[in-house]
Amino acid sequence: MAQNLYASVARVNDKTITEFEVQQRQRFMQLLNAPGSDRQNVIDNLIEERLRNDLADRYDLKLPPEGIEAGLTEFAGRANLSLEEFTAALEQSGVAQQTFRDFVVTQLTWRELIRARYGAQVNISDAEIDRELGRSGSGSGIRVLLSEIIIPAPPQNAARVSALADRIAQSTSEAEFSRYAQQYSATASRGRGGRMPWTPLENLPPSLHPILLALAPGEVTSPLPIPNAVALFQLRGIEETGAPSKSYSEIEYAAYYIPGGRSEPALAQAANVRAQVDTCNDLYGVAKGQPESVLDRGSKKPGDIPQDIAIELAKLDPGESSTALTRANGQTLVFLMLCKRTTEANAEVTREAVVASLRQRKLQGYADQLTEQLRADARIIVK
């Protein structure tokens, strides 16, 4: 039994993730009633934490003991408990104190690393503040007209896909980018040359906003690493809508996992699921009798949603679905469904609050891109 608990579940470069860590993290997240407590998400999060900790070690970034203690105490305080009361409650529920400590220390260390690495690059102009204040009230929203290419990139093809993506990024016309999309893209838009309809900017992942706004029509983003794939976008148009923009506090979605990747049987099963469901609630009937891990449903802040999922959700209305994504190095097909978007209530905000929000948003964008790059460069084996 002990051997099973400490068996390797995944390897990240030269580091191992054990079954004990996975079970402990799952239990911890379940006690917090946090989304993403299913096994697949827990393993994915532990992989990202290994990558982030490795980078912190390379920078020799260590938190002072008093900083760690303050972070642990603040976390416990969210449950209106002292640190001693919180850790005692966890241990009574089978969660080791070290599991809690590792979780908090990794978050704190990553936050400090991002601030140190990118803080000097984040400058907020008066024009950005004014635009944000306008958008949070009656200001005009922005929508973009994009073309997309998402190329599957399993580990064995990573080098070839990277070279291809670099070549596509040099596209100089819509026609050239469209030809690449028809030939290489794995999305449903490939038949249209990768062309997406007008999309509100706020529907897209927050980390993409500064990247897209920096493009001129016709320009293409640099290759963007996402799980099991590389994404590129070409800006075809941008305009203010004249309607107030929306800001979302949470986005609820469901992911139903189908074995077989993009094989014909798996795609046929996804089509059968699509024919049976109209809302996210219907997926519970589809998953009935199967392991809990086949269905993951929850609400997340837009900035907390994995970038590849956020890109697909941007194309969907509630009740619509996508089968463009895979997991487990392409071996699992993701039937992704948008449940709902929750709009933030407009409120009076100060310029200082806007500056803090913009700064955090930009830092989060850098953090997301750095995480995706670390994943793309790592040797990851999930057993």
In angstroms, the CA 250 to CA 331 distance is 29
Question: What pLDDT shows up at residue 137?
Answer: 44
* pLDDT for residue 140 is more than 70: no
- Which residue, 63, 65, 75, is CA-closest to 110? 63
Percent of the chain with pLDDT over 70: 93
In angstroms, the CA 181 to CA 249 distance is 33
Question: What pLDDT shows up at residue 124?
Answer: 84
Q: Note if the pTM is more than 0.75.
A: no
* pLDDT for residue 135 is more than 70: no
The CA–CA distances, whole Å, from 37 to 22, 42, 257, 293 equal 10, 6, 15, 9
In angstroms, the CA 51 to CA 339 distance is 31
More confident residue, 133 or 175: 175
The CA–CA distances, whole Å, from 109 to 8, 53, 159, 230, 274 equal 25, 8, 31, 28, 42
* pLDDT for residue 289 is more than 70: yes
* pLDDT for residue 24 is more than 60: yes
> How crowded is the C-beta side of 21, counted as CA atoms within 13 Å?
21
For residue 22, list its beta bridge partners. Answer: none
Instruction: Kindly indicate the confidence band of residue 138, based on its pLDDT and cuts at 50, 70 and 90.
Output: very low
Extended strands (E) in 13-133: 15-18
Q: What is the mean pLDDT of the chain?
A: 88
* pLDDT for residue 293 is more than 60: yes
Report residue 235 as tokens. Answer: 């800006």
Percent of the chain with pLDDT over 90: 56
More confident residue, 246 or 201: 201
In angstroms, the CA 180 to CA 149 distance is 8
- Which residue, 338, 183, 180, is CA-closest to 256? 338
Mean pLDDT of 357-381: 89
Q: Which domains does the chain show, CATH number per domain?
A: 2-120 (1.10.4030.10), 126-246+347-382 (3.10.50.40), 248-343 (3.10.50)
Question: What pLDDT shows up at residue 3?
Answer: 53
For residue 321, list its beta bridge partners. Answer: 337
Instruction: Kindly indicate the confidence band of residue 301, based on its pLDDT and cuts at 50, 70 and 90.
Output: confident
124 CB burial (10 A radius; 0-12, 13-18, 19+): middle
Q: Angle at the Cα of 376 (from 372 to 382), degrees rounded to 5? A: 100
More confident residue, 348 or 62: 62
Mean pLDDT of 44-69: 93
